[in-house]
């Protein structure tokens, strides 16, 4: 079931102006997906919760830290042939490829950092 507010049981939160994270909880497992934020959904959110000023420097920092976290463990799995099976290492490589892809989190994080620096000048 989708829950609209409150992350304790699932819910949604905006990430910047263009993405929204939806968290679905089924049988105690949380599944997060990203969807585009439309002008309509942003308007509804602002009506319900009020407008929020987003600090672009903090958002860029968070995205870069998250990208690093998403790369560190899978990269360790890939190079550690003694602790992980070939299947686990292959799955880890898929994760790294996704994070490093043109639409992956690393590119989003770097673009956010560059934008934050440009806006600050």
pLDDT at 16 over 60: no
Reduced DSSP (H G I as helix, E B as strand, rest coil) percent helix, strand, coil of the chain, to 5: 55, 20, 25
Q: What's the whole-model pTM score?
A: 0.56
Sign of the dihedral through C-alpha 66, 42, 112, 33: positive
Task: Report pLDDT digits (tens) over 61-103.
Answer: 888 898 898 899 999 999 999 999 999 999 999 999 999 998 8
Residue 58: Cβ-neighbour burial (10 angstroms; 0-12, 13-18, 19+): exposed
Element (H or E) spanning 14, and its range? strand 11-15
Query: What are the counts of helices (DSSP H) followed by strands (DSSP E) for the chain?
Result: 4, 3
Confidence of residue 30 (pLDDT cuts 50, 70, 90): very low
């Amino acid at each position: 079931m989708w829950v609209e507010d409150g992350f304790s049981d699932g819910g949604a939160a905006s990430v910047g102006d263009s993405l929204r994270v939806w968290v679905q909880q089924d049988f105690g497992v949380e599944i997060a997906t990203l969807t585009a934020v439309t002008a309509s959904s942003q308007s509804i959110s602002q009506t319900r919760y009020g407008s929020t000023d987003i600090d672009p420097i903090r958002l860029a920092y968070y995205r870069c830290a998250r990208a690093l976290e998403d790369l560190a463990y899978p990269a360790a799995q890939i190079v550690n042939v003694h602790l992980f099976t070939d299947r686990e290492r292959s799955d880890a490589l898929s994760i790294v490829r996704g994070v490093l892809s043109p639409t992956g989190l690393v590119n989003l994080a770097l673009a956010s950092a560059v934008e934050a620096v440009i806006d600050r000048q």
